[in-house]
A and B are shown apart, each in its own frame.
Chain A
Amino acid sequence: MSSYLLDTLKARFTDAVLATHAFRGDETAVIRKEALAEAAAFLKKELGFDFLMDLTAADYLPREPRFELVCHFYSSAHNYRLRLKCPVPADDAAVDSLTPLWAGANWFEREVYDMFGIKFNGHPDLRRILMYDGFEGHPLRKDYPLKKRQPRLPHKD
């Protein structure tokens, strides 16, 4: 079944769109990470996606590319939803920031950086947001030890 959104995106970003699929009306495009910021700007300015609902990531260790960035967009004018996914390799875990487009991306990206260690180029203030200063590593990475603790105060017993 053809989809207006996915077809438009594929026509505009022929080389960058790696795959598309739709499940019960949930449309997803997998896109190269180099094209993410441009595609997001296209969605916002041309297709009316005015709301970045969510931006998160997943770790598919030992798959390569290891990470996947997931962005959910919504258009309040058209009641469209669209999901963009970007494979992100471990040795180059950096993506262009979406904060210039949606201010709401700021904390989402800080959270992804905190939990997965993916960096965002052009982010105005890329610090940890959930874990504390001095925390080492990124706890939602699959290779973060399950029982590892990093107490800020010495624990008794």
Chain B
Amino acid sequence: MGLETALGHSFLTTRLDAAVNWGRKYSFFQYPFVTACCGMEYMSTFASVYDISRFGAEYPRFSPRQADVLFVVGTVNEKLAPVLKRVYDQMCEPKWVVSFGVCATSGGFYDNYATVQGIDKIIPVDIYIPGCPPRPEAVLDALIKLQQKVAKESVLDRKYR
């Protein structure tokens, strides 16, 4: 088996992408941008029964500069839109965005003068979670799907998205 066989078992070879993505996908630091009732389901996902830390996404970081994944949890209105954009811009690459619930995804039933009809009008989104609000199982499913998505990326990608 290649170099390991020739040089002994003290190291192994892999691709850079595989090693880096392995580290990234099991250590998501989330920034919870919580604006509405979906936050309750987010807290439930976070707490001991569903325990999101089983998937390596242990810490919510309340500074965007320390976060990898932006969870937009709840309704975003036009007044708040510049704040969300600013939080997103403050996050360091690589960064991902999860749209949590129908309000963040499409405005939900708030089809009115005040509400942004989906946060993808403002920032790019990687994973959408449907539901009003989504069950914690759906959130964990989205997290796993995001991990799968990250596993397919290259360290050369996403530099200037």
- The residues of A with any CB-CB pair to B shorter than 8 Å are 130-132, 139, 144, 148-153, 155-157
Contact = CB atoms under 8 A, between A and B. Distances in A.
Nearest to A144: B113
Contacts of B122: 153, 155-156
Interface of B: 78-79, 81-82, 85, 112-114, 116-117, 120-122
Nearest to A148: B113
A131 B121 contact: no
B78 A132 contact: yes
Contacts of B114: 130-131, 139
B120 A156 contact: yes
A146 to B, nearest CB: 8
A152 B79 contact: yes
Contacts of B117: 149
Given A151-B78, A152-B78, A152-B82, 19 more contacts: A130-B79, A130-B114, A131-B79, A131-B114, A139-B113, A139-B114, A144-B113, A149-B78, A149-B117, A150-B78, A151-B81, A151-B116, A152-B81, A153-B81, A153-B85, A153-B122, A155-B116, A156-B120, A156-B121
Nearest to B81: A153
Nearest to A133: B79
A149 B122 CA distance: 14
A148 B114 CA distance: 10
B91 to A, nearest CB: 17
7 contacts: A149-B113, A149-B117, A151-B78, A151-B121, A152-B78, A153-B122, A155-B116
